[in-house]
Amino acid sequence: MEPIKVLTANIDKPNSASIDVYLAGGGYKAAEKALKMKPEEVTQIVKDSELRGRGGAGFPTGMKWSFVPKNAPRPTYLLCNADESEPGTFKDRVIIERDPHLLIEGMIISAYAIGSCPMSYIYIRGEFYFGATVLDKALEEARAKGFLGKNIFGSGFDFDITVHRGAGAYICGEETGLIESVEGHRGQPRVKPPFPAVVGVFGGPTVVNNVETLACVPLIINNGAEWFKGFGSPKNTGPKLYCVSGAVKKPGVYEFPMGISLKELIYEHCGGITGDRKVKAVIPGGASAPMLTADELDLPLNFDAVMKAGSMLGSAGIIVIDESMCIVDAVWRLAKFFAHESCGQCTPCREGTNWMETVLDRLERGHGRQQDADLLLDMADNIGGKSLCALGDAAIGPVISSVKKFRDEYLYHVEHKSCLPGTTRYRRLDVAMAVH
Protein backbone atom coordinates (compact mmCIF):
# COMPACT_ATOMS: atom_id res chain seq x y z
CA MET A 1 0.00 0.00 0.00
CA GLU A 2 1.27 3.41 -0.91
CA PRO A 3 0.94 6.40 1.43
CA ILE A 4 -1.76 8.82 0.33
CA LYS A 5 -2.12 12.55 0.69
CA VAL A 6 -5.75 13.35 1.29
CA LEU A 7 -6.09 14.74 4.79
CA THR A 8 -2.47 15.77 4.64
CA ALA A 9 -2.66 17.24 1.12
CA ASN A 10 -1.78 20.74 2.30
CA ILE A 11 0.63 20.21 5.11
CA ASP A 12 3.84 20.18 3.10
CA LYS A 13 3.09 23.37 1.19
CA PRO A 14 5.10 26.38 2.30
CA ASN A 15 3.12 28.59 4.67
CA SER A 16 0.39 25.94 4.73
CA ALA A 17 -1.41 27.45 7.72
CA SER A 18 -2.31 30.65 5.88
CA ILE A 19 -5.72 31.17 4.34
CA ASP A 20 -4.29 32.15 0.95
CA VAL A 21 -2.58 28.79 0.52
CA TYR A 22 -5.73 27.02 1.67
CA LEU A 23 -7.93 28.98 -0.73
CA ALA A 24 -5.52 28.32 -3.61
CA GLY A 25 -6.03 24.60 -2.97
CA GLY A 26 -9.79 24.96 -3.33
CA GLY A 27 -10.46 25.76 0.32
CA TYR A 28 -13.87 26.74 1.71
CA LYS A 29 -15.58 25.45 -1.47
CA ALA A 30 -17.08 22.62 0.56
CA ALA A 31 -18.47 25.01 3.15
CA GLU A 32 -20.05 27.10 0.41
CA LYS A 33 -21.55 23.99 -1.15
CA ALA A 34 -22.82 22.60 2.15
CA LEU A 35 -24.43 25.84 3.25
CA LYS A 36 -26.52 25.82 0.08
CA MET A 37 -27.90 22.39 1.00
CA LYS A 38 -30.35 21.55 3.75
CA PRO A 39 -28.73 20.53 7.07
CA GLU A 40 -30.36 17.09 6.84
CA GLU A 41 -28.81 16.56 3.41
CA VAL A 42 -25.34 17.30 4.80
CA THR A 43 -25.90 14.85 7.65
CA GLN A 44 -27.11 12.24 5.17
CA ILE A 45 -23.96 12.55 3.03
CA VAL A 46 -21.78 12.09 6.11
CA LYS A 47 -23.91 9.11 7.15
CA ASP A 48 -23.56 7.61 3.67
CA SER A 49 -19.80 8.02 3.81
CA GLU A 50 -19.70 5.75 6.88
CA LEU A 51 -17.24 8.12 8.54
CA ARG A 52 -16.42 6.89 12.02
CA GLY A 53 -15.12 9.12 14.82
CA ARG A 54 -11.32 9.30 14.82
CA GLY A 55 -10.99 10.17 18.50
CA GLY A 56 -10.98 6.62 19.79
CA ALA A 57 -14.41 5.08 20.01
CA GLY A 58 -15.04 4.88 16.27
CA PHE A 59 -18.68 5.86 16.59
CA PRO A 60 -20.40 6.72 13.26
CA THR A 61 -20.28 10.51 12.97
CA GLY A 62 -23.44 10.98 10.93
CA MET A 63 -25.39 8.98 13.46
CA LYS A 64 -24.00 11.07 16.32
CA TRP A 65 -25.17 14.21 14.54
CA SER A 66 -28.65 12.84 13.96
CA PHE A 67 -29.15 12.25 17.72
CA VAL A 68 -29.34 15.99 18.27
CA PRO A 69 -32.99 16.86 18.95
CA LYS A 70 -34.59 19.58 16.86
CA ASN A 71 -36.22 22.48 18.72
CA ALA A 72 -34.36 21.84 21.97
CA PRO A 73 -35.09 24.47 24.63
CA ARG A 74 -31.42 25.50 24.83
CA PRO A 75 -28.87 26.30 22.11
CA THR A 76 -27.09 23.41 20.40
CA TYR A 77 -23.29 23.39 20.54
CA LEU A 78 -20.52 21.88 18.48
CA LEU A 79 -17.30 21.20 20.35
CA CYS A 80 -14.07 20.18 18.71
CA ASN A 81 -11.99 17.79 20.77
CA ALA A 82 -8.38 18.82 20.25
CA ASP A 83 -7.28 17.60 23.67
CA GLU A 84 -4.90 15.13 22.11
CA SER A 85 -3.35 13.61 25.22
CA GLU A 86 -3.50 9.86 24.61
CA PRO A 87 0.13 8.72 24.85
CA GLY A 88 1.32 7.78 21.38
CA THR A 89 -1.09 10.06 19.54
CA PHE A 90 0.07 13.15 17.69
CA LYS A 91 -2.02 13.29 14.53
CA ASP A 92 -4.34 16.18 15.41
CA ARG A 93 -1.40 18.43 16.09
CA VAL A 94 -0.34 18.08 12.45
CA ILE A 95 -3.73 19.34 11.27
CA ILE A 96 -3.95 22.07 13.90
CA GLU A 97 -0.51 23.51 13.29
CA ARG A 98 -0.17 22.97 9.57
CA ASP A 99 -3.68 23.01 8.12
CA PRO A 100 -5.95 24.81 10.61
CA HIS A 101 -8.35 25.99 7.92
CA LEU A 102 -9.30 22.42 7.06
CA LEU A 103 -10.49 22.02 10.65
CA ILE A 104 -12.30 25.37 10.64
CA GLU A 105 -14.07 24.52 7.38
CA GLY A 106 -15.05 21.14 8.79
CA MET A 107 -16.46 22.85 11.86
CA ILE A 108 -18.53 25.30 9.80
CA ILE A 109 -20.10 22.44 7.84
CA SER A 110 -20.68 20.25 10.90
CA ALA A 111 -22.15 23.11 12.91
CA TYR A 112 -24.53 23.87 10.05
CA ALA A 113 -25.58 20.23 9.82
CA ILE A 114 -26.42 19.92 13.52
CA GLY A 115 -28.04 23.36 13.72
CA SER A 116 -25.46 24.78 16.09
CA CYS A 117 -25.84 28.09 17.87
CA PRO A 118 -23.55 30.93 16.69
CA MET A 119 -20.73 29.99 19.08
CA SER A 120 -18.57 26.94 19.15
CA TYR A 121 -15.39 25.95 20.94
CA ILE A 122 -12.20 24.17 20.01
CA TYR A 123 -10.98 22.53 23.20
CA ILE A 124 -7.24 22.37 22.65
CA ARG A 125 -4.90 20.95 25.27
CA GLY A 126 -3.06 23.65 27.18
CA GLU A 127 0.38 22.40 26.21
CA PHE A 128 -0.33 23.10 22.52
CA TYR A 129 0.37 26.79 23.02
CA PHE A 130 1.76 27.15 19.53
CA GLY A 131 -1.21 25.31 18.04
CA ALA A 132 -3.59 27.64 19.85
CA THR A 133 -1.84 30.70 18.43
CA VAL A 134 -1.97 29.18 14.92
CA LEU A 135 -5.69 28.53 15.33
CA ASP A 136 -6.34 32.02 16.67
CA LYS A 137 -4.59 33.51 13.67
CA ALA A 138 -6.47 31.26 11.26
CA LEU A 139 -9.78 32.19 12.88
CA GLU A 140 -8.94 35.90 12.48
CA GLU A 141 -8.22 35.29 8.78
CA ALA A 142 -11.46 33.38 8.31
CA ARG A 143 -13.44 36.13 10.03
CA ALA A 144 -11.83 38.75 7.80
CA LYS A 145 -12.90 36.81 4.69
CA GLY A 146 -16.45 36.39 6.00
CA PHE A 147 -16.26 32.60 6.44
CA LEU A 148 -17.04 33.11 10.10
CA GLY A 149 -19.43 35.66 11.52
CA LYS A 150 -22.88 36.67 10.45
CA ASN A 151 -24.72 35.34 7.40
CA ILE A 152 -21.95 33.09 6.03
CA PHE A 153 -22.13 32.72 2.22
CA GLY A 154 -25.48 34.52 2.28
CA SER A 155 -27.12 31.48 3.84
CA GLY A 156 -28.35 33.28 6.93
CA PHE A 157 -26.18 30.99 9.09
CA ASP A 158 -24.20 32.74 11.84
CA PHE A 159 -21.24 30.98 13.31
CA ASP A 160 -18.06 31.74 15.23
CA ILE A 161 -15.39 29.69 16.97
CA THR A 162 -13.42 30.29 20.17
CA VAL A 163 -10.24 28.48 21.07
CA HIS A 164 -10.55 27.21 24.62
CA ARG A 165 -7.26 26.05 26.09
CA GLY A 166 -7.28 23.20 28.55
CA ALA A 167 -4.74 23.09 31.31
CA GLY A 168 -3.18 19.65 31.37
CA ALA A 169 -5.74 16.97 32.16
CA TYR A 170 -6.01 13.78 30.10
CA ILE A 171 -9.53 13.20 31.36
CA CYS A 172 -10.74 16.29 29.51
CA GLY A 173 -10.41 14.30 26.30
CA GLU A 174 -13.41 12.34 27.51
CA GLU A 175 -16.58 13.84 26.07
CA THR A 176 -18.32 14.85 29.28
CA GLY A 177 -15.06 15.74 31.02
CA LEU A 178 -14.41 18.09 28.13
CA ILE A 179 -17.86 19.60 28.50
CA GLU A 180 -17.29 20.18 32.21
CA SER A 181 -13.98 21.81 31.42
CA VAL A 182 -15.50 24.16 28.83
CA GLU A 183 -18.00 25.21 31.46
CA GLY A 184 -15.11 26.17 33.74
CA HIS A 185 -15.29 23.24 36.13
CA ARG A 186 -12.95 20.47 37.18
CA GLY A 187 -12.90 18.02 34.28
CA GLN A 188 -14.74 15.20 36.00
CA PRO A 189 -16.91 13.16 33.62
CA ARG A 190 -20.67 13.15 34.05
CA VAL A 191 -23.08 10.32 34.53
CA LYS A 192 -24.64 9.18 31.25
CA PRO A 193 -27.50 9.35 30.38
CA PRO A 194 -28.38 12.05 29.62
CA PHE A 195 -25.96 11.82 26.74
CA PRO A 196 -24.28 15.01 25.51
CA ALA A 197 -26.42 14.92 22.36
CA VAL A 198 -29.40 15.68 24.62
CA VAL A 199 -27.90 17.64 27.52
CA GLY A 200 -24.32 18.75 27.04
CA VAL A 201 -22.46 21.99 27.43
CA PHE A 202 -24.41 24.85 29.05
CA GLY A 203 -27.41 22.53 29.20
CA GLY A 204 -27.86 22.37 25.43
CA PRO A 205 -27.55 19.44 23.02
CA THR A 206 -23.87 19.00 22.21
CA VAL A 207 -21.84 17.18 19.61
CA VAL A 208 -18.18 16.55 20.43
CA ASN A 209 -16.04 15.57 17.45
CA ASN A 210 -12.34 14.89 17.13
CA VAL A 211 -10.12 17.13 14.98
CA GLU A 212 -9.43 14.44 12.39
CA THR A 213 -13.14 13.58 12.12
CA LEU A 214 -14.04 17.20 11.46
CA ALA A 215 -11.18 17.49 8.97
CA CYS A 216 -12.70 14.62 6.96
CA VAL A 217 -16.01 16.45 6.55
CA PRO A 218 -15.00 19.03 3.90
CA LEU A 219 -13.41 16.23 1.85
CA ILE A 220 -16.63 14.22 1.96
CA ILE A 221 -18.73 17.20 0.92
CA ASN A 222 -16.36 18.05 -1.93
CA ASN A 223 -15.89 14.58 -3.33
CA GLY A 224 -18.98 12.72 -2.23
CA ALA A 225 -19.67 9.79 0.04
CA GLU A 226 -18.81 7.19 -2.61
CA TRP A 227 -15.34 8.63 -3.10
CA PHE A 228 -14.76 8.49 0.66
CA LYS A 229 -15.91 4.88 0.80
CA GLY A 230 -13.34 4.10 -1.88
CA PHE A 231 -10.70 4.18 0.85
CA GLY A 232 -10.53 1.22 3.18
CA SER A 233 -13.12 -1.48 3.54
CA PRO A 234 -16.89 -1.41 4.21
CA LYS A 235 -17.73 0.04 7.66
CA ASN A 236 -14.10 1.11 8.01
CA THR A 237 -13.86 3.81 5.40
CA GLY A 238 -11.76 6.79 4.66
CA PRO A 239 -8.19 7.98 4.82
CA LYS A 240 -6.64 7.58 8.25
CA LEU A 241 -3.72 9.19 9.99
CA TYR A 242 -1.52 6.66 11.77
CA CYS A 243 0.96 7.88 14.37
CA VAL A 244 3.91 5.60 14.84
CA SER A 245 6.34 6.14 17.70
CA GLY A 246 8.63 4.22 19.99
CA ALA A 247 11.34 1.88 18.77
CA VAL A 248 11.07 2.45 15.01
CA LYS A 249 13.62 4.03 12.71
CA LYS A 250 11.28 6.57 11.16
CA PRO A 251 8.53 7.55 13.59
CA GLY A 252 5.91 10.03 12.49
CA VAL A 253 2.41 10.54 11.12
CA TYR A 254 1.54 8.42 8.08
CA GLU A 255 -1.62 8.61 6.04
CA PHE A 256 -3.08 5.47 4.44
CA PRO A 257 -6.49 4.22 3.41
CA MET A 258 -7.90 2.65 6.54
CA GLY A 259 -6.74 -0.94 6.96
CA ILE A 260 -3.00 -1.08 6.24
CA SER A 261 -1.39 -3.99 8.04
CA LEU A 262 0.70 -3.32 11.11
CA LYS A 263 3.63 -5.25 9.65
CA GLU A 264 3.69 -3.27 6.43
CA LEU A 265 3.40 0.01 8.30
CA ILE A 266 6.25 -0.78 10.67
CA TYR A 267 8.66 -2.53 8.34
CA GLU A 268 8.04 -0.93 4.95
CA HIS A 269 7.16 2.60 5.84
CA CYS A 270 8.74 3.24 9.22
CA GLY A 271 12.03 1.61 8.32
CA GLY A 272 11.78 -1.27 10.81
CA ILE A 273 12.86 -1.44 14.40
CA THR A 274 15.65 0.62 15.92
CA GLY A 275 18.92 -1.30 15.87
CA ASP A 276 17.24 -3.99 13.71
CA ARG A 277 16.00 -5.71 16.82
CA LYS A 278 12.83 -7.72 17.04
CA VAL A 279 9.40 -6.48 18.03
CA LYS A 280 8.31 -7.44 21.50
CA ALA A 281 4.93 -5.75 21.73
CA VAL A 282 2.92 -3.18 19.83
CA ILE A 283 0.26 -0.91 21.25
CA PRO A 284 -2.06 -0.24 18.31
CA GLY A 285 -4.24 2.58 19.58
CA GLY A 286 -2.69 4.76 22.22
CA ALA A 287 -1.82 3.84 25.79
CA SER A 288 -5.27 2.49 26.59
CA ALA A 289 -5.24 -0.20 23.92
CA PRO A 290 -4.26 -3.72 24.99
CA MET A 291 -0.89 -4.84 23.65
CA LEU A 292 -0.33 -7.07 20.65
CA THR A 293 2.63 -9.41 20.32
CA ALA A 294 5.03 -9.93 17.42
CA ASP A 295 2.82 -12.79 16.15
CA GLU A 296 -0.13 -10.50 15.60
CA LEU A 297 1.47 -8.03 13.22
CA ASP A 298 -0.46 -9.11 10.13
CA LEU A 299 -3.49 -7.37 11.51
CA PRO A 300 -5.14 -4.78 9.26
CA LEU A 301 -5.41 -1.52 11.15
CA ASN A 302 -9.09 -0.73 11.07
CA PHE A 303 -11.63 -0.44 13.87
CA ASP A 304 -13.27 -3.83 13.49
CA ALA A 305 -10.20 -5.97 12.81
CA VAL A 306 -8.25 -4.60 15.75
CA MET A 307 -11.25 -5.02 18.02
CA LYS A 308 -11.60 -8.61 16.87
CA ALA A 309 -7.98 -9.19 17.86
CA GLY A 310 -8.87 -8.11 21.40
CA SER A 311 -7.43 -4.64 21.25
CA MET A 312 -8.65 -1.36 19.82
CA LEU A 313 -7.61 1.02 17.08
CA GLY A 314 -8.50 3.97 19.31
CA SER A 315 -6.73 7.03 18.08
CA ALA A 316 -4.28 4.98 15.98
CA GLY A 317 -1.34 5.93 18.16
CA ILE A 318 0.96 3.00 17.53
CA ILE A 319 3.75 2.54 20.04
CA VAL A 320 6.34 -0.08 19.18
CA ILE A 321 8.25 -1.76 22.00
CA ASP A 322 11.31 -3.69 20.96
CA GLU A 323 12.71 -6.84 22.53
CA SER A 324 15.32 -5.00 24.56
CA MET A 325 12.81 -3.22 26.77
CA CYS A 326 11.56 -4.69 30.02
CA ILE A 327 7.82 -5.07 29.59
CA VAL A 328 7.07 -4.64 33.28
CA ASP A 329 8.80 -1.30 33.22
CA ALA A 330 6.87 -0.19 30.13
CA VAL A 331 3.58 -1.20 31.70
CA TRP A 332 4.59 0.51 34.94
CA ARG A 333 4.99 3.76 33.02
CA LEU A 334 1.52 3.45 31.51
CA ALA A 335 0.04 2.54 34.90
CA LYS A 336 1.72 5.60 36.40
CA PHE A 337 0.14 7.70 33.67
CA PHE A 338 -3.35 6.45 34.40
CA ALA A 339 -2.86 6.77 38.16
CA HIS A 340 -1.82 10.36 37.64
CA GLU A 341 -4.67 11.16 35.26
CA SER A 342 -7.53 9.45 37.07
CA CYS A 343 -9.84 12.31 38.02
CA GLY A 344 -10.55 10.84 41.45
CA GLN A 345 -14.29 10.60 41.10
CA CYS A 346 -14.84 6.81 41.10
CA THR A 347 -13.20 4.81 43.84
CA PRO A 348 -12.27 1.70 41.78
CA CYS A 349 -10.35 3.80 39.26
CA ARG A 350 -8.81 6.26 41.74
CA GLU A 351 -7.55 3.59 44.13
CA GLY A 352 -7.04 0.77 41.65
CA THR A 353 -4.81 2.65 39.23
CA ASN A 354 -2.53 3.68 42.09
CA TRP A 355 -2.31 0.14 43.39
CA MET A 356 -1.49 -1.23 39.95
CA GLU A 357 1.32 1.28 39.69
CA THR A 358 2.60 0.34 43.14
CA VAL A 359 2.59 -3.38 42.41
CA LEU A 360 4.33 -2.93 39.06
CA ASP A 361 6.95 -0.73 40.69
CA ARG A 362 7.62 -3.24 43.44
CA LEU A 363 8.11 -5.94 40.81
CA GLU A 364 10.73 -3.74 39.15
CA ARG A 365 12.42 -3.09 42.48
CA GLY A 366 12.75 -6.79 43.22
CA HIS A 367 10.11 -6.86 45.94
CA GLY A 368 7.59 -8.72 43.82
CA ARG A 369 5.53 -11.52 45.31
CA GLN A 370 4.59 -14.81 43.77
CA GLN A 371 0.95 -13.87 43.44
CA ASP A 372 1.53 -10.42 41.94
CA ALA A 373 0.70 -11.33 38.35
CA ASP A 374 -2.65 -12.72 39.44
CA LEU A 375 -3.11 -9.85 41.84
CA LEU A 376 -2.80 -7.44 38.92
CA LEU A 377 -5.45 -9.35 36.96
CA ASP A 378 -7.69 -9.34 40.00
CA MET A 379 -7.29 -5.61 40.47
CA ALA A 380 -7.97 -5.02 36.80
CA ASP A 381 -11.12 -7.05 37.15
CA ASN A 382 -12.24 -4.76 39.94
CA ILE A 383 -11.62 -1.59 37.95
CA GLY A 384 -12.96 -2.57 34.53
CA GLY A 385 -16.56 -1.53 33.97
CA LYS A 386 -16.83 -0.08 37.46
CA SER A 387 -16.11 3.54 36.70
CA LEU A 388 -18.22 6.30 35.15
CA CYS A 389 -16.05 6.92 32.14
CA ALA A 390 -13.69 4.83 30.03
CA LEU A 391 -10.51 5.78 31.87
CA GLY A 392 -10.79 2.84 34.22
CA ASP A 393 -11.23 0.44 31.32
CA ALA A 394 -8.36 2.12 29.50
CA ALA A 395 -6.04 1.75 32.46
CA ILE A 396 -6.41 -2.00 32.65
CA GLY A 397 -5.82 -2.61 28.91
CA PRO A 398 -2.03 -2.67 28.96
CA VAL A 399 -1.89 -4.45 32.34
CA ILE A 400 -4.18 -7.36 31.49
CA SER A 401 -2.74 -7.90 28.03
CA SER A 402 0.86 -7.82 29.20
CA VAL A 403 0.29 -10.15 32.14
CA LYS A 404 -1.42 -12.62 29.83
CA LYS A 405 1.07 -12.36 26.99
CA PHE A 406 4.32 -11.87 28.90
CA ARG A 407 3.65 -13.77 32.09
CA ASP A 408 7.12 -15.31 32.07
CA GLU A 409 8.69 -11.88 32.36
CA TYR A 410 6.54 -11.05 35.37
CA LEU A 411 7.45 -14.34 37.03
CA TYR A 412 11.13 -13.80 36.27
CA HIS A 413 10.98 -10.52 38.17
CA VAL A 414 9.56 -12.30 41.19
CA GLU A 415 12.04 -15.15 41.16
CA HIS A 416 15.24 -13.42 40.17
CA LYS A 417 14.52 -9.89 41.38
CA SER A 418 15.76 -8.49 38.08
CA CYS A 419 14.65 -8.00 34.51
CA LEU A 420 14.69 -10.89 32.06
CA PRO A 421 18.22 -11.23 30.61
CA GLY A 422 18.47 -9.24 27.40
CA THR A 423 15.96 -6.69 28.53
CA THR A 424 16.70 -3.44 30.26
CA ARG A 425 14.96 -0.93 32.37
CA TYR A 426 14.95 2.56 30.90
CA ARG A 427 15.05 4.37 34.23
CA ARG A 428 17.06 4.27 37.42
CA LEU A 429 15.61 2.99 40.64
CA ASP A 430 18.19 4.33 43.05
CA VAL A 431 17.23 7.95 42.77
CA ALA A 432 14.62 9.58 44.95
CA MET A 433 13.49 11.24 41.75
CA ALA A 434 11.65 8.16 40.65
CA VAL A 435 9.08 9.07 43.28
CA HIS A 436 6.44 11.38 41.90
Partner 1 sequence: MAELHPDSAYAPERFADPAKKVEFSPEAKKKFDYLLTRYPNKEAALLPVLHLAQEEWGWISPEAVHYIGGLLDLSPATVFGVVSFYNMYNQKPVGKYHVQVCTNLSCMIGRAYDIYEGLCEKMNVQPGQTTPDGKFTITEVECLGSCGTAPVVQINNDYHENMTVEKVDALLKTLK
Binding-site ranges for partner 1 (CB under 8 A): 75, 84-90, 92-93, 119, 125-130, 162, 164-170, 181-187, 202, 243-247, 251-253, 283, 287, 317, 319, 321-322, 325, 330, 333-334, 337, 340-341, 343, 426-428, 431-433, 436
Omega cis (within 30) before 73: no
- Pick the closer one to partner 1 by CB: 8 or 43: 8
Closest contact distance (angstroms) between CB of 325 and partner 1 is: 7
Query: How near is the Cβ of 252 to partner 1 at its closest, in Å?
Result: 5
CA distances from 436 to 20, 187, 206, 353, 395 (A): 47, 22, 37, 14, 18
* CA atoms within a 13 Å half-sphere pointing along the CA-CB vector of 293: 9
- Least Cα distance to 112 among 219, 31, 54, 55 occurs for 31
Give CA–CA dist 211/232, Å, rounded: 20
Q: What counts of helices (H) and strands (E) characterise the chain?
A: 17, 12
| Smallest distance, partner 1 to C-beta of residue 319, A | 6
Nearer to partner 1, 141 or 322 (CB): 322
**Cα–Cα distance, 413 to 367 (Å, whole number):** 9
Would you say 62 or 166 has its CB closer to partner 1?
166
Cα–Cα distance for residue pair 248/318, rounded to 1 Å: 10
Given a contact cutoff of 8 angstroms between Cβ atoms, the answer to whether 261 and 114 are in contact is no
Nearer to partner 1 by Cβ, of 165 and 229: the residue is 165
Residue placing its CB nearer to partner 1 in the complex, 50 or 341:
341
Asked if 190 and 387 touch (Cβ cutoff 8 Å), the reply is no
Mark 318-356 as b/e (b = at least 16 C-beta within 10 Å). bbbbbbbbbbbbbbbbbbbbbbebbbebbebbbbbbbbb
CB of 89 to partner 1, least distance (A): 7
The least CB distance from residue 7 to partner 1, in Å, is 16
User: 236, 303 in Cβ contact below 8 A?
Assistant: yes
d(CA 338, CA 354): 8
CB of 249 to partner 1, least distance (A): 12
Alpha helices in 11-99 (DSSP H): 19-24, 29-36, 39-48, 61-66, 91-98
Q: Which is nearer to partner 1, 218 or 398 (CB)?
A: 398
Q: How far apart are CA 402 and CA 107, in angstroms?
A: 39
Q: 64 vs 125, which CB is nearer to partner 1?
A: 125
Q: How far is the CB of 153 from partner 1 (least distance, A)?
A: 23
> Strand pairing partners for 199?
none
Name the residue nearer to partner 1 (CB basis): 265 or 321. Answer: 321
Q: What's the closest the beta carbon of residue 368 comes to partner 1, in angstroms?
A: 20
DSSP state of 429: S
Q: How far is the CB of 45 from partner 1 (least distance, A)?
A: 31
User: How far apart are alpha carbons 181 and 169 in whole angstroms?
Assistant: 10
Q: Which amino acid is at 195?
A: F
**Residue with smaller CB distance to partner 1, 76 or 237:** 76
Q: Partners of 261 in the beta sheet?
A: 300
Please identify, using beta-carbon distances, which residue of 19 and 178 lies nearer to partner 1. 178
Nearest CA to 97 among 55, 136, 56?
A: 136
Q: In the complex, what is the shortest distance from the CB of residue 316 to partner 1, in angstroms, rounded to a whole number?
A: 12
Min dist CB 36 to partner 1, Å, is: 29
CA dihedral 148, 153, 159, 162 (to 10 degrees): -20
Please say which residue, 10 or 288, places its beta carbon nearer to partner 1. Answer: 288
